[in-house]
Structure 1
Amino acid sequence: MAGSLPELPFSATKRKYERYTEDDKVLQEKLTKEIDESKKTLKPKLSYDAEYFHQIAERSDLELKRLNLVRKKSRQDFLHNSGLDADWENSEKASKLNEEKETLTLRRKLFKDQADQRRIEAGNTSKTMRGYFIQLYTSSARGLGISPTIAAMGQRDTSVQDNFRKALIKACRSESDVKGLKNHLWCPVIGGYVPKENARAAHIFPYASGQEAMTSIFGDGGDDKMFDTRNGLILSMWAEKKISDGEIVIVPLVSDNASKEETAKWAASDPKEYKVRIVKMSPDDRDQMLPVFRMKKTWGELDGAKVQFKSDHRPRARYLYWQYCQTTLRQSWLGKNQNRPRALQSEFKKPFWGTAGSYMKRSMLLAFVEEMGHQYESLLDGAVEDVDANSGHQEVDCTALAVANEAIADSLRRGELRAEMEKEENDEEDEEDDEEYDEDAEYYRRWGKNVLD
């Protein structure tokens, strides 16, 4: 019958192919209504009891069930066109859906654990409930989708962000002095100038996670470090996206098989130097030209390249290490779904972050290791000891893990919105069928990169 799904050869998949049915569609709509209702009825409280966190865990469970149906439908659409299950499993769409599943699974686990802990130690909020946990999940509509009644970061003050951008441009010496490129800013990751409108004042530790979470993770005291220039870099919009999406990571500039002497020398250096490592990137993306004026270099050629700072300004190593831990978490999920270990390692089987240091509390790094597995114990090389003074035991603190999980979820949401916007723009262009000149798009087409990529 025309338009019917092809029969899959036995060799195409070892699993039974499940079709997306009309009943699945009805169930998906029902789950969406239940999730929306949960958002309306769940309100922040002055007292966060076990039932409150249990409800959030239940909502995450509903979202997981809906996601499984979305995945089934997406897989069916893919197979309708190609007929190869192996191609689906390795597709970008499947990868994003798997990552979304992992973020929801971890969120459900964190809230269930929080609910259980509240039942055990009812009323002892100092030990079982930290402010970061409330703020992280109630401070914005993109989290729980509820209006907060407690102090949170709230909507970003544009004047504060503008001042942050100006301070970063000055500290990084980002402005161009090259003739013909006066309205361009330097991106140290790609090593070239980009138009100002395509440059971002990027936070390393995300603004959306809040100052309270930042203080809890790094112990920087009560001062506001969120808009400190050491928590930021001027990056091209393309480099910022690839870092946010976990495709590339910034790590210390040491040899892959660095000796203790080399790593000690790096630790004592000032300013410290870094390099770019590609974590995951498709062959096509690796072969794409960098969006830099008169530069014939591909994204793939950045792997191992030195980050080209224009000044002595550097981000704090601890913030970059947190970003590295977040990327490692994301990569561990990829390995889980593809049934093979995917630790961030060089060909010498050493971690990409090749130096020891005092970046984050051991209790928080232990949470990452417990979530990902013993093969990631090298993360503990960046630990600051924080054994509980009362018990004498090493506690496990999920603060940084929870923040990293939400940052990944946020990146996935932004990717979906970006894809929707680009599809709408492309549809509008097809309907209008005109040749209106776009200066920015033309600029990047000339150098081998479409501005919408």
Structure 2
Amino acid sequence: MDLPPIYIPKKRRAEEISKLEIQRDELEDNLKRTRKKLRAHGSFNAEFWSAAADVESTILKKTRIVSEISLSEFPGDASEWERTEEARRLFEQIRAQKHRVASFQSQSAKLSLSKPRRSLRESFMKLFTTSPVGLGIKTGAGARDGHIQSNFRSGLIRDYQSMHSDGMHAWCPILGDYYPSRAMTAAHIFSYKHGQSTMDSIFGKMRPPQLFSSKNGLLIHSEIEQVLDAGVLVIVPDLPEKPTSAMLCSWTDSEVREFRVRIIDSQWDRLDEGIFGISGLKWRDLDNRKVQFRGTFRPAARFLYFHYCLQVLRRAWRAGPGQKAVFSLTDELGKPFWGTPGRYIAGNMLKAFCEELGHDCDGLMIGASRRRGRRSALLDAATAQIAEKANKMDQNEGEDGDDDEQEEEEEEEEWGRDEIEFIE
């Protein structure tokens, strides 16, 4: 099967582009007004989420117009445009926004019929209102406490033995070398803004909580961090070409697990570019490269598996209407990118995730646990994270100086910035 149908933009004549630009600007002005009204709303009830769905629908209309402008200004034909990075970003953005519209409508319908538990209502609200590229409503999540983030970074440096003896450089396990510590990012694998309640929903409750644990983070070069959430690179178990059952069990049971980097998007247009001035090293060279940790501490496989699922979805959603959307979970030799079984994520959540991909991806069920949770939790969290990244260009053009944007500029980059939970 292919992915669900996507909006197919039309190539317009030159004289029509100016009309599209006027429509785009009118929608942007309308969005500014309606977002302000939502911010002033006194209650996050069914009426609020119905209005939020209308706002997100307007964002979706704007993105579709932007895609038509982009195609119309492109010198080649539609099939060539679909392979450009801008087009792929727009396809991904449209799919994420369509899911958000459906999510808001569903939340409104459920709230009109029943009163959800407070924790579920609160975490849903925090996810979809705190994003500066979403509804942009401050609900108390705010920026990370500087002390907490500082402790998180210090914990990563300590646990992964990252700091050089000179105190000025830190080790990047992806690149396998030391870099000035100011260039290194303390990156969450499962975004802190998804919140502890969402982490518990997807993975099950853990004691102590692991949202700010070193198990949920890596200290990596900032350039690497940006690409790790672009649907290009994943971190997967380091296994032989043809592992036996004993080898798989050995990796699963090991306290010190090894990982490697894999490239899952062979169409990415930067694969043959050099990596920020590192002599001779291109992005393509990271494929199959072992992650080189300094000590015995490792990130939790369940969080890396979440990241893997998210990048698979990003990769699939970037496919254009004229492209074959089927995405293989194996490399060119037929070896699975993630080859070890594990009880990482509730099985019904992974099943719903696979259904959204719209093609045979049963291979993802290798990470299913027997636990059950809210069926759409994994997909909702992934969509929120994707929507954030996909809208970054709009944000940069964007809104005139909201407090949310100012807070974001003060924060370190991380793998996603929103949080989510829906009512049952």
TM-score by length of 2: 0.83
Instruction: Report whether the alignment pairs 1:359 with 2:344.
Output: yes
CA separation of 1:92 and 1:334: change in aligned 2, threshold 3 A: same
Does the CA contact (< 8 Å) of 2:10 and 2:72 recur in 1? Answer: no
Q: Which amino acid aligns with 1:69?
A: I
Q: Which residue of 2 aligns with 1:138?
A: 129
User: How many angstroms apart in 1 are the aligned matches of 2:107 and 2:119?
Assistant: 7
Instruction: Report whether the alignment pairs 1:308 with 2:280.
Output: no
Q: Which residue of 1 aligns with 2:12?
A: 18
Q: Which amino acid aligns with 1:136?
A: L
Q: Which residue of 1 aligns with 2:304?
A: 320
Q: Residue deviations 1:255-296, cap 9 Å, x none?
A: 354333322121011200001001225576333334476x64
Counterpart among 50, 58, 79 of residue 54 in structure 2: 58
User: How many angstroms apart in 2 are the aligned matches of 1:187 and 1:400?
Assistant: 29
User: How many angstroms apart in 2 are the aligned matches of 1:307 and 1:236?
Assistant: 13
The unaligned stretches of length 5 or more in structure 1 are 1-13, 388-394, 421-453
Q: Which amino acid aligns with 1:201?
A: A
Counterpart among 28, 31, 36 of residue 32 in structure 1: 28
Q: Residue deviations 1:411-436, cap 9 Å, x none?
A: 2334666799xxxxxxxxxxxxxxxx
Correspondences of 1:216-227 after superposition (within 5 Å): 216-221=201-206, 223-227=208-212
1:171: Cα distance to partner?
A: 1.0
1:228: Cα distance to partner?
A: 0.8
User: How many angstroms apart in 2 are the aligned matches of 1:196 and 1:419?
Assistant: 30
Quick check: 154-163 or 108-117, which moved more?
A: 108-117
CA separation of 1:343 and 1:108: change in aligned 2, threshold 3 A: farther
Q: Which residue of 1 aligns with 2:90?
A: 97
Q: Which amino acid aligns with 1:53?
A: W
User: How many angstroms apart in 2 are the aligned matches of 1:90 and 1:30?
Assistant: 29
1:172: Cα distance to partner?
A: 0.9
Does the CA contact (< 8 Å) of 1:334 and 1:342 recur in 2? Answer: no
CA separation of 1:285 and 1:30: change in aligned 2, threshold 3 A: closer
Q: Which amino acid aligns with 2:64?
A: N
Counterpart among 130, 148, 165 of residue 160 in structure 1: 148
Q: Which residue of 2 aligns with 1:147?
A: 138
Does the CA contact (< 8 Å) of 1:331 and 1:343 recur in 2? Answer: no
Correspondences of 1:11-410 after superposition (within 5 Å): 17-19=11-13, 20-43=16-39, 48-79=44-75, 83-119=76-112, 122-126=113-117, 129-148=120-139, 152-177=140-165, 183-221=168-206, 223-280=208-265, 285-291=270-276, 296-335=280-319, 337=321, 338-387=323-372, 397-410=375-388
User: How many angstroms apart in 2 are the aligned matches of 1:53 and 1:146?
Assistant: 13
Q: Residue deviations 1:331-364, cap 9 Å, x none?
A: 1213464223123321244531111101111122
Give me the identity figure in percent: 32
Does the CA contact (< 8 Å) of 1:230 and 1:314 recur in 2? Answer: yes
Does the CA contact (< 8 Å) of 2:11 and 2:71 recur in 1? Answer: no
Q: Residue deviations 1:189-231, cap 9 Å, x none?
A: 1111221111111110112222222222222347542211111
The unaligned stretches of length 5 or more in structure 2 are 1-7, 399-424
Over the residues paired in the alignment, what is the CA RMSD in angstroms?
Answer: 2.8
CA separation of 1:15 and 1:142: change in aligned 2, threshold 3 A: closer
Greater Cα radius of gyration, structure 1 or 2: 1
User: How many angstroms apart in 2 are the aligned matches of 1:369 and 1:159?
Assistant: 39
Aligned residue for 2:156, secondary structure, equals helix
